[in-house]
Amino acid sequence: MFKTLTPAHLQMLGRLGDLARSTKEGVADAVGEAINDLWSNVDIRDRLRGTLIVWFGSDQEPLQRAAVSAFLYLALQQDGNGQPILLSEPEASAPEWVIRGWRTVLEADEPTLLARQAFMTWLDTAATRENWTEPVTAALVSAVHDTPTDHLRGQRFLNLVRLAECWTIQSDVLDDQERKKCRRELEHRTQKADPHRPGMQQEDGPAGA
């Protein structure tokens, strides 16, 4: 799979891995920027993606921070048509690792500036390109709910609301009322998908009905 990796590539990736374990301030952001810059190199993109997946699943906080930083820089990237590069094609589901990225972002105590910028990029796309509305919305709703661990579900939803409100205020796409409508639809969709939502069983009807 990685036959095109040169010794220089391997040395560079190894160095990034060492740096990502640092607890020094600013290192995680620097590693994220470096991975973002390297992403256009198709020879190492699969390796970079695999590295981020490993870091997201690590119990080492510095690795998780570096993964979040890289993910958010990548989430800001758009292709020549203005679509997020992390969504492969319109009306397709987001890759699981992308959903994992958003989930980790939403589990922070508060959204960072970079998180707000990336979220705005995705909601701008969802609000102005009809065929991208569902992939973006589904990815964000899945990031809040599709996980076996429930204890941070409330935090994820809270940050989703915070980010959506920020987008409503700061974005320059559509008009104010249309942005508010988009925000309400996203929040309603997320609330409706909550498996622990009060009254959900009554709405769905008794099992076997």
DSSP letters along 153-183, please?
A: HHHHHHHHHHHHHHHHHH--SS-HHHHHHHH
Contacts of residue 126, Cβ cutoff 8 Å, sequence gap at least 6: 132, 133, 136, 137, 182
Contacts of residue 20, Cβ cutoff 8 Å, sequence gap at least 6: 27, 28, 31, 55, 62, 63, 66, 67
Lowest mean pLDDT among 37-46, 55-64, 81-90, 109-118: 81-90
pLDDT at 2: 41
How many whole angstroms from its chain centre is CA 16?
Answer: 21
H-helix or E-strand spanning residue 75: helix 61-76
pLDDT at 99: 96
Residue 50 pLDDT > 50: yes
CA distances from 34 to 56, 61, 66, 175, 196 (A): 17, 19, 10, 36, 40
pLDDT at 16: 94
Q: Are 84 and 121 in contact (CB under 8 A)?
A: yes
| Pick from 76, 69, 77: nearest CA to 117 | 76
pLDDT at 25: 95
Interatomic CA distance for residues 109 and 113, integer angstroms:
13
Hey, how many other C-beta atoms are within 10 angstroms of the C-beta on 208?
4
pTM: 0.89
Residue 21 pLDDT > 80: yes
Residue 209 pLDDT > 50: no
Interatomic CA distance for residues 123 and 162, integer angstroms:
13
Most confident of 41-50, 65-74, 149-158: 65-74
pLDDT at 98: 96
Alpha-carbon dihedral sign for residues 28, 29, 34, 40: positive
pLDDT at 150: 77
Q: Which residues pair with 78 in a beta bridge?
A: 84
Residue 206 pLDDT > 70: no
Interatomic CA distance for residues 186 and 182, integer angstroms:
6
Split at pLDDT 50, 70, 90, the class of 208 is: very low
Q: What would the two tokens of residue 209 be?
A: 């009905």
Average pLDDT, the chain: 90
Contacts of residue 115, Cβ cutoff 8 Å, sequence gap at least 6: 72, 105, 108, 163
Contacts of residue 128, Cβ cutoff 8 Å, sequence gap at least 6: 173, 174
pLDDT digits (tens, 9 = 90+) for 124-164: 999 999 989 999 999 999 999 998 777 899 999 999 999 99
